[in-house]
Amino acid sequence: MTAYQNCEVSEVMQVTLPSGVAGAGYGFSIRSENKRPLVTPSFGTREDAEQARAEVVNAVEKAIEVTLQG
């Protein structure tokens, strides 16, 4: 397991969806203190990505650390 402190959340951006999924995708990254992307969730609409980002920002700001499992 790897743990990170002082993570941040990027702005919403256009992302590539998995093959077989139609349309443009949107997402954001949770990044380490060194700006390295740790995880990038993808959504079918910008609105869904913006809503999820707002919730994740709140959680990441309150987190003592972010730990990657596996």
Q: Which pTM value belongs to this model?
A: 0.86
Instruction: Say what the pLDDT of residue 55 is.
Output: 97
- Name which residue leads in pLDDT, 1 or 63: 63
Q: What is the pLDDT of residues 16-70, one digit of tens each?
A: 887 777 777 999 999 999 999 999 999 999 999 999 999 999 999 999 999 998 7
Sequence-ordered list of residues with C-beta below 8 angstroms from that of 33, at least 6 positions apart, any chain: 4, 5, 6, 7, 8
